[in-house]
Amino acid sequence: MGGALLSFLLSYPEFILAAACFLAFAAIRRARDSRRLAAPVPVSWPVVGMLPFVVGHLGRLLDAAAAALPELGCTFMFRGPWLVGADFLVTCDPAVFRHCLVANFAGYDKGRDFAEMFDVVGDGLLVADAASWAAKRHLAASVFTSAAFRAFVLSTVERQTRRLLVPFLDHAGGGGGGGGVVELEDVFMRYSLDVSYTVAFAADLDSLSVASAAEPFPPFGEATRVTGEAVLFRHIAPAGWWKLMRWLNVGVERRLADAKAVLDEFVYREIANRRSRPAPAVAGGDDLLSMYMASPIDPAMSDQTLRDAAVGFMFAAKDLIAAALTWLFYMICTHPHVEAKILDELRSLHVAAGDARDAAPMVFDADELRAATYLHAAVLETLRLYPSAPFEEKEAVGDDVLPGGTAVRKGTRVVFCLYAMARAEGIWGGDCREFRPERWLTGSGGGKVRQEPSYKFAAFNAGPRSCLGKDLGLSNIKVAAAAIVYNFTVELVAGHVVEPKDSVVLHTKNGLMVRVKRRETA
């Protein structure tokens, strides 16, 4: 049948020409109609599909998607170039989030394509599906919810904030009366690497120390950075392209292979070191590797499982925390009244504690910050507008129909656009684009933090696959933010433009250049 059709079309090329003209005219009409809409929407052209929309908005795809999605009813099928199989469904509709991530969880997998793109985490939790995911999740939950591990994470956060972050900013801000200029996103990337490295391996990397901050990233940190870039490249480039590059071992794929070798060498050596110790000391600590090695759930855990857990943890936590801190400080710099309220709250906590730690600098711990509801609201509002993972993706396990009636065929990739959801008036109201921590607080005088359903505020994902480190991540952000706001003033360098980068983690395009100065009245 297919062969007969092909030979017919080849015998009468005018049919192909006529069909292409018809599709082109239809696309031109749709393109003209779309100009009447409030924002440009993608139009599917013959052969290239909606690729021109992507090319035309390169570098600002998230904002383009945020403007287009509400015009298209919040869900639409993105058509890639013909014959490349690059079509996918995009949505910012909370009802669709709820359906795919919560109600029909088993109907949507991460899928093999995602696992292959993110193969640096091996066969770990972040890419596993079905029964394999359930077993890994059970094991991970036993570690992440254990009191010993949580206490170790929180004490590490406080310790690294006190010994690395605050002294570094103090040093950077010591440049004359006007303070010093630093690129804060780089500071947060180093800080976050140092925290998660210690949490994973109970050793200090100190990439943010005053002495080493002028140095390039340590090889382990550089390997995680290169890997993030390569995963993004694999999301953007056609699969055949990056697979060919992988086969040829060139370009970004070659750098990825080198980065993986660095990660493997380090983690396997660490595992071997620990295995060579006498039995009672093999695990013994409260760091991630020790906790996994001592887990009664899988006493005969292979080295590869341990390696995948440790590397997966670095990717689950590190960059997401750094991105959240970066956008929080961009918001604080551009909303001085928010900074003033956070500072008031922290000062009242300090006074209420009545403690004797008047010797500056002050570092609050996670327990003390439990009462800092305004700071908590500012962090949530940052993650609403600038979710560290701006989109989530899944693959339909079978045919399905979404709320609203869109039919989904088996194998369709679904991209959940959190960044766009935050900017949809129908979902977050007319002031959705404003940074307003108050929207998270009940009552006019502050009070408690409001709960939003996870399918509407999906920064930590929704449903059974929700983030296992949500509370720890939030505490980490608050401890670092409180230490900075309380001890320093941070001002955006005049003329520096801060914009989101099209990326799997919401980094900035040009970093966050700020002037840091020791706060005189801290």
Which residues make up the interface to ligand HEM (CB under 6 A)?
125-126, 137, 140, 144, 316-317, 320-321, 324, 388-389, 392, 459-461, 465, 467-469, 472-473
Buried b or exposed e, range 74-97, using 16+ CB within 10 angstroms: bbbbbbbeeeeebbebbbbbbbbb
Q: Is 399:409 a contact under the CB 8 Å cutoff?
A: yes
Angstrom distance (rounded) from CA 136 to CA 434: 39
- Find the helix packing angle between 13-34 and 2-11, rounded to 10°: 90
Q: Measuring CA to CA, which residue among 169, 499, 510 is closest to residue 334?
A: 499
Partner residues linked to 182 by β-bridges: 514
Chain centroid, CA 317 distance in Å: 9
For residue 332, give the nearest of 483, 497, 459, 490 by alpha carbon: 490
The end-to-end CA distance of the chain, in Å, is 79
CB of 467 to ligand HEM, least distance (A): 3
Could you tell me which of 424, 500, 354 has the C-alpha nearest to residue 70? 424
Q: Are 258 and 229 in contact (CB under 8 A)?
A: no
**Nearer to ligand HEM by C-beta: 75 or 388?**
388
Among all residues, whose Cβ is closest to ligand HEM? Answer: 469
**CB of 361 within 8 A of CB of 166?**
yes
**Closer residue to ligand HEM, CB minimum distance, 71 or 471:** 471
Q: Please say which residue, 52 or 463, places its beta carbon nearer to ligand HEM.
A: 463
Task: Work out how close the CB of 403 gets to ligand HEM at its nearest, in angstroms, rounded to a whole number.
Answer: 21
Distance CA 258, CA 424 (A): 42
Give least dist CB 296 to ligand HEM, A.
Answer: 19
- Which burial class, exposed, middle or buried, applies to 401 when counting CB atoms under 10 A from its CB (0-12, 13-18, 19+)? exposed
79 near 44, Cβ under 8 Å? yes
Q: Which is nearer to ligand HEM, 200 or 432 (CB)?
A: 200
Residues 388 and 314: their CA atoms lie apart, in Å, by: 15
Structure token pair of residue 141:
């939950």
Nearer to ligand HEM, 374 or 460 (CB): 460
Nearer to ligand HEM, 92 or 321 (CB): 321
Give the bridge partners for 416, in sequence order. 91, 392
- Residue 7 or 132 with smaller CB distance to ligand HEM: 132
Tell me if 467 is assigned to a ligand binding site: yes
Q: CB of residue 166 vs ligand HEM: minimum separation in angstroms?
A: 20
Closest approach of ligand HEM to the CB of residue 370, in Å: 17
- Min dist. Cβ of residue 4 to ligand HEM (A): 44
- Contact at 8 Å (CB) between 321 and 192? yes
Considering beta carbons, is residue 78 or 460 the nearer one to ligand HEM? Answer: 460
CA distances 151 to 74, 136, 284, 321, 500, Å, are 42, 22, 15, 18, 34
Provide the minimum distance between the beta carbon of 196 and ligand HEM in the complex, in angstroms, as a whole number: 8
How many angstroms separate the CA atoms of 324 and 303, rounded?
Answer: 32
Instruction: Write the DSSP symbol of residue 162.
Output: I
Considering Cα of 99, then 104, then 106, then 111, what sign does the dihedral take?
A: negative
Minimum distance, C-beta of residue 325 to ligand HEM, in the bound complex (Å) = 9
- Please say which residue, 51 or 379, places its beta carbon nearer to ligand HEM: 379
The answer to whether 338 and 346 have CB atoms below 8 angstroms apart is no
To ligand HEM, the closest distance from the beta carbon of 143 in angstroms equals: 9
Binding annotation: 467
Binding annotation for heme: 467
